[in-house]
Homo-oligomer: A and B are copies of this chain.
Amino acid sequence: MDQALSHPHIISLAAGFTDNPSLPVEETREIVQELLADERLARPSLQYGSTLGDAALRRRTVDRIRDGDFAALKSTAEDAGGRLNESIYQPQSLQITHGSQQILYMLTEVLFDPGDIVLVEDPTYFVFLGMAQSHGLRCRGVRMTPEGIDVGHLETVLQSLRKAGELPRLKMLYLVSYSQNPSGVTTSLARKAEALRLLRSCEKHAGHTVYLLEDAAYRDLRFRGSDVASALVLPGAAKRVIYTSTYSKPFATGIRVGYGLMPAALGRVVTRIKGNHDFGTAHLLQRIVIRALESGRFDGHLTALQRRYGQKAAVMGRALREQCGDLLEWVEPSGGLYYWARLRGRGTSGPKSRLFKAALKEDVLYVPGALCYADDRTRLKPDNELRLSFGNASEEHIAEGIARLGRAIRSLRGR
């Protein structure tokens, strides 16, 4: 932010902002008109709702998750032991929040004491790391592969925790399972099944439930490939899987509505905390989302948005190949807002690196990859990666930003 203000011509490939031109202006205008012109809907939309969230929105949301899981299970040949468990998709188990960030925050408050351990992916969503740190948690990183979490490494980490007598402090594995921020990786159901099995096998030594928190914030933003069923379909999910996601990124980020589906006992505690935070999410926003869903505008907009991000991703991919093919390596994402790139050869990308400064001099900004790794002293933290967002920048700026980045890298290698 500071950097962007002091460099007015900067192209930011760093921000997690979403695409501006495609924001659903007309849809939202119509929706609010319809809501406030309807005698039965107008006043309730402007009054407090309940702490748990609007009943109609909770019903639609659990149905949506269930239908997604059902379709994903049906369409795949992979048999990872997933079976739809209808009793999980219940409106009373769903908490509506002010964006999905808030549900992550409240879960961190509820599940952890300072000094407790959370397992995260290497790399992971850096805001979660900041939140975990501010609550005094210890994070342990688990390696990633292109199919998602490295279950072999997960097993090794769990074994080392067991040997150190630390399993009683382990509370949760945090998995950003769809088009992950930052790596773009989608975790296969088989990986999720194996991860959940490993967590369950630790519970006896832990002395309590070890939760799998599946953050599906980018599930809707897939522009290629097939959907994957959530961990909710796995054996034992009812007691230990928490599924969080958001309506903000797939519709409009100015309308903050997120949610979490979780075991009932945990849900009751989270709802009490939500009451203390803010009594419940602004009702007008929830009603806008309900109407967007009911009227088909949500899905219509989402289809267009997926296409748009697919195009923008293609623009960034082409620019990377043309400008940085010899400088960086990356995997094409199939959804989300990011490319995750690694410097070929030597060199670092951190906020104090020569590259970061050279990029600033070229007026382009990226997120240094090291920020996406937990402070976990049991392994080295890679410092040669970059998160490059195609979410907010225009196609022209994406291409120009990557060209500038290429010049910045080259300027250092030329020396």
A contact set with B: CB distance below 8 Å: 1, 17-18, 20-21, 23-26, 28-29, 32-33, 36-37, 42-50, 98-99, 101-102, 105, 127, 130-131, 134, 252-256, 272-273, 275-279, 281-285, 287
Contact = CB atoms under 8 A, between A and B. Distances in A.
A254 B47 contact: yes
Nearest to A45: B254
B43 A25 contact: yes
Contact of A47 (B26, B253, B276, B287): B253
28 contacts: A18-B48, A20-B47, A23-B42, A23-B46, A25-B43, A28-B284, A29-B37, A32-B32, A46-B252, A46-B253, A46-B254, A46-B255, A48-B253, A49-B254, A98-B278, A98-B281, A99-B278, A101-B276, A102-B277, A102-B278, A105-B276, A127-B279, A253-B283, A254-B282, A254-B283, A255-B284, A256-B282, A285-B285
B20 A254 contact: no
Nearest to A128: B276
A44 to B, nearest CB: 8
> For A50, A99, A254, which residue has the most chain B Cβ atoms within 10 angstroms?
A254
Nearest to A276: B131
Nearest to A1: B50
A44 B284 CA distance: 18
Contacts of A29: 32-33, 36-37
Contacts of A130: 275-276
A254 B36 contact: no
Secondary structure class of chain A's binding surface, majority of residues? helix
A284 B47 contact: no
B20 A42 contact: no
B32 A279 contact: no
A134 B32 contact: no
A275 B255 CA distance: 16
- Shortest 7 CB-CB distances between A and B: which pairs? A254-B283, A46-B252, A46-B254, A256-B282, A29-B36, A32-B32, A23-B46
Contact of A46 (B25, B37, B277): B25
A11 to B, nearest CB: 17
Given A99-B279, A284-B285, A285-B285, A25 B17 contact: no
Contacts of A42: 23, 25
A48 B24 CA distance: 14
A175 B100 CA distance: 32
Contacts of A273: 134
B279 A282 contact: no
A37 B253 CA distance: 18
Contacts of A99: 278-279, 282
A101 B278 contact: yes
Nearest to A31: B32
A311 to B, nearest CB: 19
Contact of A101 (B1, B254, B277): B277
A49 B281 CA distance: 17
Contacts of A276: 101, 105, 127, 130-131, 134
B48 A254 contact: yes
A25 to B, nearest CB: 5
B284 A252 contact: yes
A228 to B, nearest CB: 27
Contact of A278 (B24, B43, B255, B256): B256
Nearest to A32: B32
A279 B25 contact: no
Contacts of A50: 1
Given A277-B277, A282-B285, A24 B46 contact: yes
Contacts of A284: 28, 252, 254-255, 285
A44 B32 CA distance: 17
A42 B23 CA distance: 9
